[in-house]
Chains A and B, each alone.
Chain A
Amino acid sequence: MTTRAVVSMLMAWAIPGSGHVYLGRRGRGIAFFAIVVTMFVIGLVIDGGLYTLAGSRGSWLRVMASYASMGSGFLYFLASRIGAAGDVVSSTFEYGSTFMLTAGLMNLLLVLDCFDIANDRKVGISDRKAKPESA
């Protein structure tokens, strides 16, 4: 694994979309940042609860959800810092938790995408056209 791949993956995890910006895909990076952050913030605003390892109480489903939430990088640590436990009696608690969980999972996909781009595993259409076709 190259240094470029490691740096882009770490950046992508810490700040959603920053890995793509680092790899030269600025527009996409900004769009990904906007999508992930918007989803996470909506989740917080509508009383969603953040899954944490401390609150998983041995339930493997909650442990998996905690790792998924951690995928959102700085947002996770920011939310756990402010104690975003959500409001379980709120009608939108489940929706909010799902929004936050999805934001984390999306960011994990972005980390994997950065790995693929950095290792030339993901060839865009424009790149493909530039390469000679093989028989």
Chain B
Amino acid sequence: MSLLRNHIVLMFLYAVATGLFFALLWKEERRDRIRTFLAIFCSLFFGGIALGWLMYPLPLR
């Protein structure tokens, strides 16, 4: 249960669920689905981490 309090775990779950959802909704073929899933998952998960690092110095002092 404490695992669900971890922000990285929650980000991961959110990215997986969203990626799966849109891959199934938008694409028909297996290969297209995998590609779409990976694109959405990486954008949300790694993009979120990258954005977090970019915002690290903020607010400027």
A residues neighboring B (CB under 8 Å): 28, 31-32, 35-36, 38-39, 42, 45-46, 91-92, 95, 98-99, 102, 106, 109-110, 113, 124-126
Contacts and interface: CB of A to CB of B under 8 A. Distances in A.
B61 interface: no
B21 A35 contact: yes
Contact of B17 (A39, A46, A109): A39
A35 B17 CA distance: 6
A28 B26 CA distance: 11
A102 B14 contact: yes
5 contacts: A46-B10, A91-B5, A95-B10, A99-B10, A113-B25
Nearest to B14: A99
Max chain B Cβ within 10 angstroms of own Cβ: one of A32, A35, A46, A99? A35
A129 B28 CA distance: 12
